[in-house]
Amino acid sequence: MSTSVALSRGYNGILPRTTRLSDESYLDFVETFRGIAGYGTFATVAAEGEKAVAEALGETNDTTDIKDIKEVINKLPLPATWQRYMRTHQEMMWRRTRGSFEPFQDDLVNAMDDAQNKGPGKLTLDPNFKVPNYARREIHLQPGGYTDDPIGGIVYHYGTKVFYAGANDQDELHAEIVDTLTPPEDGKVDKILDLACSIGQCTLILKDRYPDSEITGLDVGLPMVKYAHWQAVKRGVDVNFVQGLSEETKIDADKFDMVLSYILFHEIPVRVIKETVKEMFRILRPGGTFCIYEFPSAGPNMPASQRWMIDYDSINNCEPYSPGFVYMDFHKELKDAGFNVKPGPKNSNGFLQTIVATKPA
Ligand SMILES: C[S@@+](CC[C@H](N)C(=O)[O-])C[C@H]1O[C@@H](n2cnc3c(N)ncnc32)[C@H](O)[C@@H]1O
């Protein structure tokens, strides 16, 4: 495969470098700023928020009106400043990442097109595939979202490197997810689906950990799966990618032994969540496991400051569907579909809940 001019600065391990050193330096600053001012101060922001809410509203739970919580916390100087930081560095991140790769768009698209029919794995695209409108939102403020920017894959890769604030430069967090999966009790893992795989970070690691299994990554975003397949071809990893819908996969019933979904459900509307849960039950074989890593679900123990943060994120970080997920009874949805539901293993990202939903044998 021809080496892309866009990537003439090479890779840092598996991470593509930006096209100019000045972009890398700028994004390093944004990443450090995010780490310190965004993540590093949140515990203080939350503590101040909790104190003020307790004084103004007394004890709260998930039925306390979020408007009342916002009314109290938004007036505090530190939380207000934190919101400004979060929004601004998110915008700086996407503007500079996309700005770095955009002059080389044709070159990048050619490289992905060139890889399309190469192996060892397959990329399956349906020319008649129609992206539903709900999936076209610019989630996390990413320009063009997951579906409408031809170079969205590389932009997402470098952008989320910054988002993870140095903790995922070599997909370390994805590796941790894959390492903590719960295989079926009978130990048979012939076929694994990485649902909403984005750029295939878990998908490729799955092949490393389960070399004898057939691995498929499915995502609605064409730029995502095209980039994922390009990475797999370059690294010689035998995994398959398909552009498809979680709620209507067109996959045969009882096909997979294990399905992984890492942070999908808070990004789709409630109707699609419900359809996806049923669809996963259909395509898992009896005894198969659905391993879910996701935003927390509300309940009497969700602190007011966390509800406030999720509300902020939904509005200012374009997560339009996350409150729908957080406030629905997701566990009940899984049980109603027929799954046996248990908590999954702990993860170093303490914010996430993990669930293992097993289709009865
Ligand atoms: C936060 S990303 C998931 C991250 C990814 N699982 C990882 O390992 O980093 C959410 C992904 O869900 C995909 N998505 C959204 N709605 C979908 C749907 N209905 N079917 C399949 N993929 C969907 C988006 O295109 C996006 O790539």
List, for residues 174-185, the tens digit of each pLDDT value. 999 999 999 999
Could you tell me the CATH superfamily of domain 133-358? Answer: Vaccinia Virus protein VP39 (3.40.50.150)
Alpha-helical (H) ranges within 14-127 are 21-33, 40-57, 66-73, 77-101, 105-115
What is the pTM (predicted TM-score) of this model? 0.96
Mutate to test the pocket of ligand 1, among 156, 264, 274, 278 (most ligand atoms within 8 A of CB): 264
User: What pLDDT does 287 receive?
Assistant: 98
Long-range own/partner contacts, residues 47-54 (CB < 8 A, 24 or more apart)? 47/305, 48/76, 48/78, 48/79, 49/73, 49/76, 49/79, 49/304, 49/305, 49/308, 50/303, 50/304, 50/305, 52/76, 53/304, 53/305
Higher-confidence position of 88 and 351: 88
Closest Cα partner for 86 from 323, 313, 318, 320? 313
Q: Is the CB of 262 under 6 A from ligand 1?
A: yes
User: What pLDDT does 2 receive?
Assistant: 47
Phi, psi dihedral angles at 191 (to 5 degrees): -135, 130
User: What pLDDT does 324 receive?
Assistant: 96
User: What pLDDT does 288 receive?
Assistant: 98
- Identify the band that residue 190 occupies on the pLDDT scale cut at 50, 70 and 90: very high
Burial class (CB in 10 A: 0-12, 13-18, 19+), 253: exposed
Cα–Cα dist 133/89, whole Å: 27
| Average pLDDT estimate for 320-326 | 96
Closest Cα partner for 360 from 293, 273, 281, 283? 281
Closest Cα partner for 358 from 261, 272, 291? 291
Q: Is the CB of 354 under 6 A from ligand 1?
A: no
Average pLDDT, the chain: 96
DSSP reduced 3-state for 183? coil
Residue 130 Cα to ligand 1 midpoint, Å, equals 16
Domain range annotation of the chain: 5-118, 133-358
Q: Is the CB of 228 under 6 A from ligand 1?
A: no
The percent of residues in the chain predicted with pLDDT above 90, rounded, is 93
| Average pLDDT estimate for 292-306 | 91
Least confident of 60-64, 73-77, 312-316: 60-64
Residue 131 Cα to ligand 1 midpoint, Å, equals 13
Residue 200 Cα to ligand 1 midpoint, Å, equals 10
User: What pLDDT does 1 receive?
Assistant: 42
Give the Cα-Cα-Cα angle 248, 251, 252 (nearest 5 degrees).
125
Q: Is the CB of 199 under 6 A from ligand 1?
A: no
| Average pLDDT estimate for 35-62 | 95
Q: Is the pLDDT of residue 55 over 70?
A: yes
Q: Is the CB of 224 under 6 A from ligand 1?
A: yes
Q: Is the CB of 267 under 6 A from ligand 1?
A: yes
Give the Cα-Cα-Cα angle 81, 138, 293 (nearest 5 degrees).
80
Q: Whose CA is nearest to atom 13 of ligand 1?
A: 196
User: What pLDDT does 4 receive?
Assistant: 66
Q: Is the CB of 201 under 6 A from ligand 1?
A: yes
User: What pLDDT does 301 receive?
Assistant: 84
Least confident of 125-139, 192-206, 339-353: 339-353
Q: Whose CA is nearest to atom 27 of ligand 1?
A: 198
Q: Whose CA is nearest to atom 17 of ligand 1?
A: 220
Q: Is the pLDDT of residue 30 over 90?
A: yes
